[in-house]
Structure 1
Amino acid sequence: MNTRISLSLLLTLSCSAVAQGQKIVAPPVFNIFELVIKQDQNNAYDSLAEKNITASVTDEAGTLAMYSAKKKTNPSVAYMFEIYADSDAYQQHLNSTSYKDFLRNSPDILDASQKRKIDAVPQFLADKNIVQSDKTINNFVIVDVKPEFGQAFRHVVLPEMAQSINLEEGVLAMYAVTDKTNPNRWYFYEIYASEEAYQAHRLTPHFKGYIEQTVEMTTYKEAVAIKPGKLMNKGGLMYEIK
């Protein structure tokens, strides 16, 4: 079935669903960018990223979330995580004044030759309205799943993430996507109110169950240590692929 909904109606429905904490049916767009900041341009990048994030999430109905982060071991490596209601909303963002301003200023700040975009397929996206503080932390984890365990892994990890966002006050966002070119590679981006909230999460029965049940299903795990920059969303997103 090929059903097309007008942009204005889709954005209205999507934002209404977000506000009410309802599930979004149309596949959102989830982007992960890895960027390299030029020498002595870290402060300039922080300012430019914050300006773009604030304007985009505030002014664009279909921009649901934008998060900046830097690698702890090498702050010149930055990440941008973005969520849009659908491909039309993403296109609207690309045509926005804030994004064009970002593009205009970025050549002086970013090394364009080292920019990398991960083409991601959303599997589970859920969040609460994030009010960032000095205690807010984020995690970025990469997991490779054995092909024969693809469905079994999905059936364990997605319910675990749903329980985490629903039962734990300190869990602010749980996102899982797969690599479009390698569906056995999973990317997890998570936001917690504090380190204490994260450690409490690790002690929950659902998290321990996930670890125990999937220990033999994976071939590779990497926790990329990152420090949050500007974190901003509309909140209330709930999407799970069918």
Structure 2
Amino acid sequence: MSTRAAAIAVASTLSMLALPGSATAVESKMPFIRIAELEIDPAQLEAFKAAIAEGVEAAVRIEPKVLALYAVAERERPTHIRVFEIYADEQAYAQHIQTAHFRKFFESTLPMVVSRRLIDTVPVVLGAKP
């Protein structure tokens, strides 16, 4: 069983312990979290940074179910970018990748990306200040 499937199974089990009629509320509260590992063509790094800054700003401002988007570069390898994405649920992610601002970002940066690895994760502990 995949880690995501295991987490969904746990959420489903927990939902059975909830009040009647609240199972979907428990399941829908599981955020969808993905880490994107990107390697960017060094000659296009600045253009990529500008594009991702624009895309992140638009997504966070416009989409209420985009909870957080963080893009960071490795200190010793600045062309290796990691994007930490948190959405309210998997449906929010599906909606996000259909937006005009995401399509613009994806299509404009496609030739800049040397490699891309998408990692779906399961929350263990999430902490943030309001």
Partner Cα separation in structure 1 for residue 120 and residue 57 of structure 2: 23
Which position in structure 2 is the counterpart of 1:182? 77
Partner Cα separation in structure 2 for residue 206 and residue 139 of structure 1: 18
Matched, 1:232 2:127: yes
Which position in structure 2 is the counterpart of 1:140? 35
Partner Cα separation in structure 2 for residue 137 and residue 224 of structure 1: 11
**What is the aligned-residue RMSD (CA, Å)?**
1.8
Task: Tell me the secondary structure at the aligned position of residue 206 of structure 1.
Answer: helix
Return structure 1 stretches of 4+ with deviation > 2 angstroms: none
Which position in structure 1 is the counterpart of 2:53? 158
Task: Tell me the secondary structure at the aligned position of residue 209 of structure 1.
Answer: helix
Matched, 1:208 2:108: no
Partner Cα separation in structure 2 for residue 225 and residue 136 of structure 1: 11
Task: Tell me the secondary structure at the aligned position of residue 182 of structure 1.
Answer: coil
Task: Tell me the secondary structure at the aligned position of residue 124 of structure 2.
Answer: strand
Which position in structure 2 is the counterpart of 1:108? none
Partner Cα separation in structure 2 for residue 137 and residue 196 of structure 1: 9
Aligned residues: 107
| Mapping of residues 39-58 of structure 1, within 5 Å | none
Partner Cα separation in structure 1 for residue 45 and residue 31 of structure 2: 32
Contact 2:29 2:88 in 1 (8 A): no
Structure having the larger proportion of residues in strand? 1
| Mapping of residues 107-118 of structure 1, within 5 Å | none
Task: Tell me the secondary structure at the aligned position of residue 225 of structure 1.
Answer: strand
2:64 to 166, 169, 185: 169
> In percent, how many aligned pairs have the same letter?
27
Instruction: Report the TM-score when normalising by structure 1.
Output: 0.42
Structure having the larger proportion of residues in helix? 2
Letter of the structure 1 residue corresponding to residue 89 of structure 2? S
Contact 1:176 1:186 in 2 (8 A): yes
User: Gaps spanning 5+ residues in structure 1: where?
Assistant: 1-70, 76-132, 236-242
- Structure 1 residue 229 displacement after superposition: 1.6
Bigger Cα Rg: 1
- Structure 1 residue 234 displacement after superposition: 1.2
